[in-house]
Chain A
Amino acid sequence: MTISLTRRRTAPRPPAIQPTAGAGSRQWVGYAFLCPALLLFVLFVAGPFVAAIVLSLYRWDMLTPAQFAGVGNFTAMFGDPLLYRSLANTFVFALASLVTHLVGGLLLALGVNRLKNKVLSYFVRTSLFFPFVISWAAVALLWKYVLDPSFGLVTYYLGRLGLDTPNWFNDPSWALPSIIGIDFWHTIGFTFVIMLAGLQTVPNTLLEAARLDGANAWQTLWHVTIPMMSPTIFFAAVITFLGAFQIFDPIQIITPQGGPDNSTMSVVMYLYQKGFQSFQVGYASAVSLLVFAVMMVVTLLQFWGSRRWVHQ
């Protein structure tokens, strides 16, 4: 979602296009075309967003009348150890997801790009992307069995290799890494496709020039391919982080209580429990604004960073 709005807007428009603007008399046409979107936007995005801010100032359980709490919900957040725990888990998850997806996706794209065997290339591309089209619900349930301590695939084959396997989801130090691994399996295809597409944007002439100058494969990769791919890598980084920061489905399905010792409790999981299980609607709204704040900061960093660091 790198947004090129400003660039497009500043492009001067030839005067020949002006007729649609009319003399201001045909303005209603624009509103008419926009009105379904605008109505839905107010009803389901803008309105609820404002409502979330208002709700965060109240104490409400959805049944009895709401009580004004001022900034009480926000000050309560500072003294909430479980919120800190969930934030820490979420950042660990998001960073692990970021690193594994970017490195894995780039390596796989580079590898597949070099494959000459059409059949093998098709097989690898398809198998990498297969898990991504499947719903999280199916993926999470499947992996509950794949990692089952008694009859799971992973347990058996790692055992054959002589490795002792932990009780993945019930072990506080393994529950979150397990979910990181499952997430990798599920979404690596997405990063891979983005990277593969980015790889095609590297001009062949540059690669050829590097080769003529005597650069080896590693130098070409490090000094030509990766700098030329920086917009793609940057985009993949932001989208992976934002997606990972909102991780919820596999956590709720595999560890419905937030895992052993709250080791898989993510921010969105915490917000779900507060809002829809213990019905602390005001507090949940405050937490949801925190999620929004993090996403906003990351998105604005993207705007700022893509101008500074990324090759254009």
Chain B
Amino acid sequence: MGAPVTTGRAAPVRRRHRIRPARVVLGLVLLVVGVLMVAPLVWLIVQSLTAERAAFSLPPGWLPRPFTVDNFANIDGLIPFGRMALNSLQVSLISTVGSMLVSVLAGYAFSRLRFRGRQAILLVMLSALMVPVQTTVIPVFVLMRNLGLVDHLAALWLPALINVFAIFFFRQYFNTIPRELDEAARIDGASHPWILFRIIVPLSGPALAAMTILAFEASWNNYFGPLIFLSSPQHMTLPIGLVTLQAGQGGSSVVVFAAITAVVVPVMVVFLAFQRSFAASIASAGIRG
């Protein structure tokens, strides 16, 4: 399901000259839409690179004049930005890698192994997809408080290790891999872990990429969890850190903009690098499922 997202269908050539004016209008309209979509982001980045006295001027400045990077240097005086970035990275990496491992194992069990209650367990897990996180968050908070994990990063990544959608997605994907492959390996005496990690997983690249991207993005951008579980700045992740910075006293608007830019630009760069897989993962999770 990946490639089609980015390829346009070729229009018939014979009609080309007839539709041309409409096509130009269409192109112009879409160009305007595109410009309007990115304008706030351009404005954000430009202001963050503008000296404080000149920022947020009217009419809006679209070039950073006078240019400065001081705004970025000033972030650390207000929030421990580096610490927060590391926290974000730590939570996202642990929850993504962990949940992928857990989900691949479970997906294999549901796809390839026979045991009592298999369908029942799968059905119960799938119906839990209807349970919103808001319903479970209060009991999970009480649980974390009893475990002494409130205001610890573990309170964020531990519950993220269970990813029912990924389990189901992997099960569906594994079902499309011919069973003759693992049967052959079984006859040669291969164990189940060997079959999973040497045959099934290497053949599941697209599914794995899609789920990894979605899981990482969900964790990296999570705001609700950190808002509820974290309270001290040195334990915070970036999204909650940004909001704290903006709400706090003493942070001027340009510094807030610098912090937002510092959070947003790396994500935009990563997105540009992996744009195809990103769009494909959304589309496949949506269309295939």
Contact of A44 with B113 in the complex, beta carbons under 8 Å: no
- Alpha-carbon distance A116/B289, docked complex (angstroms): 31
CB-CB under 8 A from B59, the residues of chain A are 156
CB-CB under 8 A from B102, the residues of chain A are 36-37, 40
Which A119-146 residues sit within 8 Å CB-CB of chain B? 120-121, 123-131, 133-138, 140-146
Instruction: Among B58, B138, B221, B279, point to the contact of A136 (Cβ < 8 A).
Output: B221
Contact of A146 with B119 in the complex, beta carbons under 8 Å: no
Given contacts A33-B108, A141-B246, A151-B56, A285 and B44 within 8 Å (CB-CB): no
CB-CB under 8 A from A52, the residues of chain B are 135-136, 138-139
CB-CB under 8 A from A289, the residues of chain B are 135
Question: Which candidate, A17-25, A67-75, A95-103, A169-177, is the interface stretch facing chain B?
Answer: A17-25
Contact of A30 with B130 in the complex, beta carbons under 8 Å: no
Given contacts A62-B142, A153-B60, A292 and B132 within 8 Å (CB-CB): yes
Most buried by B among A9, A129, A232: A129
CB-CB under 8 A from A51, the residues of chain B are 139, 142
Contact of B239 with A137 in the complex, beta carbons under 8 Å: yes
Contact of A131 with B30 in the complex, beta carbons under 8 Å: no
Question: Which candidate, B67-75, B203-211, B253-261, is the interface stretch facing chain A?
Answer: B253-261
CB-CB under 8 A from A126, the residues of chain B are 272, 275
B126: Cβ under 8 A from any A Cβ: yes
B129: Cβ under 8 A from any A Cβ: yes
- Alpha-carbon distance A268/B126, docked complex (angstroms): 23
Contact of B27 with A40 in the complex, beta carbons under 8 Å: no
Given contacts A19-B186, A125-B6, A137-B240, A249 and B106 within 8 Å (CB-CB): no
Q: By the criterion of a CB under 8 Å from any partner CB, how many residues of chain B are at the interface? A: 114
CB-CB under 8 A from A296, the residues of chain B are 130
Total residue contacts A-B, CB cutoff 8 A = 300
Instruction: Among B106, B135, B283, point to the contact of A193 (Cβ < 8 A).
Output: B283
Q: Please, which residue of chain B has its CB at the minimum distance from the CB of A256? A: B247
Most buried by B among A4, A47, A51: A51
CB-CB under 8 A from A27, the residues of chain B are 114-116
Instruction: Among B37, B145, B260, point to the contact of A138 (Cβ < 8 A).
Output: B260
Instruction: Among A1, A47, A197, A268, point to the contact of B4 (Cβ < 8 A).
Output: A197
Contact of B134 with A47 in the complex, beta carbons under 8 Å: no
CB-CB under 8 A from B26, the residues of chain A are 111, 114-115
Contact of A45 with B164 in the complex, beta carbons under 8 Å: yes
Given contacts A115-B27, A124-B34, A131-B41, A5 and B103 within 8 Å (CB-CB): no
Q: Please, which residue of chain B has its CB at the minimum distance from the CB of A155? A: B58
Contact of B30 with A49 in the complex, beta carbons under 8 Å: no
Contact of B287 with A198 in the complex, beta carbons under 8 Å: yes
B172: Cβ under 8 A from any A Cβ: yes
Contact of A120 with B286 in the complex, beta carbons under 8 Å: no
- Alpha-carbon distance A49/B164, docked complex (angstroms): 15
B238: Cβ under 8 A from any A Cβ: yes
CB-CB under 8 A from A194, the residues of chain B are 282-283, 286-287
Contact with A along B101-122 (1 / 0, CB 8 A): 1110110111011111011011
- Alpha-carbon distance A124/B30, docked complex (angstroms): 7
Most buried by A among B110, B113, B243, B257: B113
CB-CB under 8 A from A134, the residues of chain B are 221, 264, 267-268
Contact of A153 with B239 in the complex, beta carbons under 8 Å: no
CB-CB under 8 A from A30, the residues of chain B are 109, 113-115, 118
Q: 14 A-B residue contacts at CB 8 Å?
A: A34-B121, A37-B102, A44-B159, A46-B128, A47-B143, A51-B139, A114-B8, A129-B275, A133-B271, A153-B39, A196-B5, A197-B5, A197-B286, A289-B135
Chain A interface (Cβ < 8 Å from any Cβ of B): 1-5, 8-9, 16-17, 19-22, 26-31, 33-34, 36-38, 40-41, 43-49, 51-52, 55, 62, 108, 111-117, 120-121, 123-131, 133-138, 140-146, 151, 153, 156, 185, 190, 193-194, 196-198, 200-201, 204, 211, 232, 235-236, 239, 246, 248-249, 252-253, 268, 271-272, 275-276, 281, 284-285, 288-289, 291-292, 295-296, 299
Q: 8 closest Cβ contacts across the A-B interface? A: A30-B115, A21-B114, A137-B239, A197-B283, A135-B221, A51-B139, A48-B139, A37-B106
Query: Given contacts A46-B128, A48-B139, A113-B8, could you give 13 more A-B pairs where the C-beta distance is less than 8 Å?
Result: A3-B126, A34-B110, A37-B105, A38-B106, A62-B145, A126-B272, A127-B34, A129-B275, A130-B271, A137-B243, A156-B59, A196-B5, A288-B137
